[in-house]
């Protein structure tokens, strides 16, 4: 979900990226073990009980080892967050480029898939958000958000031909933010798949209607 970073009073200065690039395969394995364990602990115990000790135990390593690969608890959480974003947006990016569908159909599909993806990761996300105040503002997070935002704006150029660039961009922001925010709020409620799909469809409908209205207002040199 498109997370919009926000200003916070105090910004931690310590690096929250990985302490060391896992050069060996063994290290890479260890890192992913820890990340998976962390995800499990977060989902199972909640952010309140998400402690380095518990994560290490779940991963079958010592706390010391955990700190060998993650500079801090915060860094671990950040990595978890980032990984989740990457997975989700890779899929959406792909759909948005699928030329076999007309643009509005692609948007509909993006919305549906996004809601579903959010649903699956809801438990993790909730816990993540509870600890989220810690790194919402890391530069890495900003960079990632900027990237996805750019990609989606490109998609909206296709969706709104003939519409001035600034309006295109704003529409993209409006729709994507609505989608991300709504999906987050909705999936967090633990609804079943059918209900989530209904929400997704209604939202997709709303966005499409809106974009069509925008198109209608455009200088329409559209043929």
Partner DNA sequence: AATGAATGAGGATTCATTCAT
Partner DNA sequence: GATGAATGAATCCTCATTCAT
Cβ neighbours for 86, distance < 8 A, ≥ 6 positions apart? 144
Tell me how far apart the alpha carbons of residues 54 and 158 are, in angstroms, rounded to a whole number: 48
Q: Does 202 bind a copy of itself (CB under 8 A)?
A: yes
Q: Compute the least distance from the CB of residue 159 to a copy of itself, in Å.
A: 14
Tell me how far apart the alpha carbons of residues 33 and 22 are, in angstroms, rounded to a whole number: 13
Binding site for DNA (CB under 7 A): 20, 23-24, 26-27, 30, 48-53, 61-65, 67-68, 72-74
Q: Does 198 bind a copy of itself (CB under 8 A)?
A: yes
- The separation between CA 101 and the C-alpha centre of its own chain, rounded to angstroms, equals 24
From DNA, a copy of itself, none, which one binds at residue 47 (CB under 5 to 8 Å depending on kind)? a copy of itself
Q: Compute the least distance from the CB of residue 191 to a copy of itself, in Å.
A: 10
Tokens 């809801």 sit on residue: 122
Q: Which is nearer to DNA, 20 or 97 (CB)?
A: 20
Q: Compute the least distance from the CB of residue 61 to DNA, in Å.
A: 4
* Helix ranges, 97-164 (H): 103-120, 122-132, 139-159
Q: Compute the least distance from the CB of residue 146 to a copy of itself, in Å.
A: 14
Exposed/middle/buried for 164, CB within 10 Å: 0-12, 13-18, 19+?
A: exposed
Stretch that binds a copy of itself, among 43-51, 98-106, 110-118, 153-161 (CB under 8 A): 43-51
């Amino acid at each position: 979900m498109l997370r919009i970073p926000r200003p916070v009073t105090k910004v931690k200065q310590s690096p929250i990226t990985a302490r060391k690039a896992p050069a060996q395969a063994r290290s890479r394995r260890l890192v992913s073990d820890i990340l998976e364990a962390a995800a499990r602990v977060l989902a199972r115990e909640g952010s309140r009980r998400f402690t380095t000790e518990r994560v290490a135990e779940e991963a079958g390593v010592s706390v010391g080892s955990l700190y060998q690969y993650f500079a801090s608890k915060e860094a671990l959480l950040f990595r978890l967050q980032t990984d989740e974003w990457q997975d989700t947006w890779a899929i959406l990016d792909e759909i948005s480029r699928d030329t076999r569908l007309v643009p509005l159909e692609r948007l509909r599909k993006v919305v549906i898939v996004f809601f579903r993806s959010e649903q699956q990761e809801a438990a993790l996300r909730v816990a993540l958000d509870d600890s989220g105040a810690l790194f919402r503002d890391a530069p890495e997070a900003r960079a990632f958000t900027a990237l996805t935002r750019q990609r989606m704006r490109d998609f909206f150029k296709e969706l709104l031909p003939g519409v001035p660039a600034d309006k295109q961009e704003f529409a993209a922001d409006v729709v994507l933010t609505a989608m991300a925010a709504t999906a987050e709020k909705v999936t967090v409620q633990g609804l079943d798949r059918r209900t989530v799909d209904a929400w997704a469809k209604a939202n997709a409908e709303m966005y499409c209607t809106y974009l069509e209205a925008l198109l209608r207002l455009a200088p329409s040199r559209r043929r």
